[in-house]
Amino acid sequence: MENGEDFRLVFVTTGSEENARDIARTLTKERLAACCTMISGAVSIYRWQGNIEESRETQLFIKTSAGQLGLVEQRIQQLHSYDTPEIVAVILSDISTPYLAWLRESLL
């Protein structure tokens, strides 16, 4: 395992599989993401405008670099159907050596 602090895992929920796929394909095509994983059927329970809401959503896991995080956020804001999309990034502290090499290659 190697230190992956230069890379981020970004969590984004969308209201539809179509919107998630559009975001994932755009980020990958523009080399802002090495990979995007979609998981359909997530259920989110949250507070919105004073009410407790429950929605079926698609969860995106986006693998990107720290240096591209600002551009990733910008593109998500442009492509996302929500007024306030969830965009949460975490530092990848440990990554297998082969996967880290692939990430670097994919984002160049």
As a whole number of angstroms, the distance between CA 92 and CA 2 comes to 10
* Residue 1 pLDDT grade (very low, low, confident, very high; cuts 50, 70, 90): confident
60: tokens are: 């995106």
81: tokens are: 């159907």
As a whole number of angstroms, the distance between CA 48 and CA 96 comes to 39
Q: Is the pLDDT of residue 108 over 80?
A: no
Q: Is the pLDDT of residue 58 over 90?
A: yes
pLDDT in tens, 4-56: 889 999 999 999 999 999 999 999 999 999 999 999 999 999 999 999 999 99
CATH 3.30.70.120 fits 2-107, yes or no: yes
Domain boundaries, the chain: 2-107
* Residue 2 pLDDT grade (very low, low, confident, very high; cuts 50, 70, 90): confident
Residue 57: name the closest of 41, 73, 70, 36 by CA: 41
pTM: 0.92
pLDDT in tens, 76-106: 999 999 999 999 999 998 999 999 999 999 9
Q: Side by side, which strands form the sheet with 51-65? A: 35-48, 51-65, 2-14, 88-95
- Residue 3 is predicted with a pLDDT of 86
